Amino acid sequence: MDFTHARTTMVDNQIRTEDVTDWDVLRSFLTVPREAFVPEGQKALAYIGKDLPLANGRRLMAPSSFARLLQLLQIRSDDAVLDVGAGCGYAAAVMAPLARSVTALEEDEDLAASASSALSELGAANVSVVKGALREGWTTGAPYDRIIFEGAIEDMPVLFYDQLAENGRMVVVEGRGNAATARLYLKEGGGVSNRFAFNCSLPMLPGFERPPQFVF
């Protein structure tokens, strides 16, 4: 299979068509081999326009969804990025050429090991894969200029506000199914605000489910 052609087709037919126009973002998608980050039996499916299953119930975001979130994040060359739920490491690899550093946080041991191996083979020297509870973030290296969640959440822990730098941007998909929306969080003057960006449905990240409501 011609993966180089598949990458170009992915960018032209799945990403550009979603109004992703940032050339640095597009170039990174054209450069990073998505097939290097998916399980062996799924390499031929690496560039389809759908989420792909990973180990232990996790999924890799569809290219179009990730591209829209990445453009919204607006990574600058001197930014430190926290990637929450890094999974197989593909998103971290795409962000690496855009940022000063990427901290790829993953709590699943198998996925973290797979991500470390793939990123090492790719030569992504400015990416650090760290293992820890996703819900706790990663205080080492905080505050981060940019934070992105690789999956949907229902409950945003306020500790992420502390891990976001002044004038920082945080992108997250909140909610389940068709009701889910991408939201942009901004930290200014010590306070954090957020706004609707676009409709977007992603698989849920573990640990971010809404606490059960008790009825008396």
> Percentage of the chain with pLDDT > 90?
92
Copy the structure tokens of residue 142: 């905080």
Residue 147 included in any domain: yes
DSSP classification of residue 200: -
157 located within any domain: yes
Q: What are phi and psi of 97, to 5 degrees?
A: -70, -15
**Mean pLDDT throughout 173-192?**
96
Residue 216 lies in a domain: no
> Into how many domains does the chain fold?
1
91 band by pLDDT with thresholds 50, 70 and 90 = very high
Q: What is the mean pLDDT of the chain?
A: 96
Q: What is the pLDDT of residue 216?
A: 59
Q: Which of 136, 169, 174 is nearest to 153 (CA)?
A: 174
Q: Does residue 214 carry a pLDDT above 70?
A: no
Residue 159 backbone phi and psi in degrees, to 5? -60, -25
Is residue 23 in a domain?
A: yes
113 belongs to a structural domain: yes
Query: Containing domain of residue 46, as a range?
Result: 3-199
Does 205 map to a domain?
no
Domain-located, residue 162: yes
157-175: pLDDT as tens digits: 999 999 999 999 999 999 9
**215 within a domain of the structure (yes/no):** no
Question: Any idea what the CATH number is for the domain that residue 96 is in?
Answer: 3.40.50.150
State pLDDT tens for residues 15-38.
Answer: 999 999 999 999 999 999 999 999
Instruction: Record the pTM.
Output: 0.96
Running DSSP on this structure, what letter comes out for residue 204? B
